[in-house]
Structure 1
Amino acid sequence: MENLNFNLSRRAFLANSSKAGLALSLGGTAILSACSGEAKGDSQAVLATSFTQSPLSFDFAALEPHIDAMTMEIHYTKHAAGYARNLEAAIGEENVDTNKPLEDVLANISNYSTKMRNNGGGHYNHELFWKVMTPDAAERPEGALADAINDSFGSFEAFAEQFETAAKTRFGSGWAWLVVGNDKKLAVGSTPNQDNPLMDISDFKGIPLLGLDVWEHAYYLHYQNRRADYVSAFWNIVNWKMVAERFAAASM
Structure 2
Amino acid sequence: MRFGGNTNDPPKFSKEQLEEHNRLYPEVHAAKLKEIEARLIRADTTCVDPTYCPLRSLKKEQAYALNSVRLHDLYFGNIGNEDSQPSAEVMSLLERDFGSKQEWEKQFAGLARCSRGWVVLGFDLKDGVLRNFFADDHSEGVWSVLPLLVLDVYEHAYCKVFSTRDDYVDSFLKLVRWEAVNRRLKAVKEFYQSIAAIL
CA contact 2:36–2:58 (8 Å) conserved in 1: no
Please report how far the alpha carbon of residue 196 of structure 1 lies from its aligned counterpart in structure 2 after TM superposition. 4.9
SS in 2 for 1:222: coil
* 4+ residue runs over 4 A deviation: none
CA contact 1:132–1:211 (8 Å) conserved in 2: yes
Correspondence for 2:167 = 229
CA contact 1:137–1:240 (8 Å) conserved in 2: no
SS in 2 for 1:194: coil
Paired AA for residue 131 in structure 2: A
Please report how far the alpha carbon of residue 237 of structure 1 lies from its aligned counterpart in structure 2 after TM superposition. 1.6
Distance in 2 between the 1:145 and 1:208 partners?
13
2:79 is the alignment partner of 1:153: no
Identify the structure with bigger relative contact order (alpha carbons < 8 Å, sequence gap 6+): 2
2:150 is the alignment partner of 1:207: no
The structure 2 residue matched to 1:130, chosen from 76, 87, 94, is 76
Distance in 2 between the 1:121 and 1:251 partners?
22
CA RMSD across the alignment:
2.3
Distance in 1 between the 2:185 and 2:12 partners?
25
Deviation string 1:29-68 (CA, Å, 9 cap, x unpaired) is: xxxxxxxxxxxxxxxxxxxxxxxxxxxxxxxxxxx95213
Q: Report how many aligned residue pairs link the two structures.
A: 167
1:69-218 matches, within 5 Å, as 69-95=15-41, 113-135=59-81, 137-138=83-84, 140-170=85-115, 173-181=116-124, 182-197=126-141, 206-218=145-157
Correspondence for 1:59 = none
SS in 1 for 2:119: strand
SS in 2 for 1:177: strand
- Identity among equivalent positions (%) equals 23
CA contact 1:180–1:187 (8 Å) conserved in 2: yes
CA contact 2:11–2:161 (8 Å) conserved in 1: no
Deviation string 1:115-159 (CA, Å, 9 cap, x unpaired) is: 202211111111111111124641x31211111111111111001
Please report how far the alpha carbon of residue 71 of structure 1 lies from its aligned counterpart in structure 2 after TM superposition. 2.2
Please report how far the alpha carbon of residue 249 of structure 1 lies from its aligned counterpart in structure 2 after TM superposition. 1.2
Paired AA for residue 151 in structure 1: R
**Cα gap change, 1:113/1:248 in structure 2, threshold over 3 Å: closer, same or farther?**
same
Of structures 1 and 2, the larger Rg is shown by: 2
Distance in 1 between the 2:147 and 2:139 partners?
12
**Cα gap change, 1:111/1:79 in structure 2, threshold over 3 Å: closer, same or farther?**
closer
Higher helix fraction: Structure 1 or Structure 2? 2
The structure 1 residue matched to 2:176, chosen from 207, 214, 238, is 238
**Cα gap change, 1:137/1:83 in structure 2, threshold over 3 Å: closer, same or farther?**
farther
Which ranges of structure 1 fall in alignment gaps of 5 or more residues? 1-63, 96-109
Distance in 1 between the 2:120 and 2:152 partners?
9
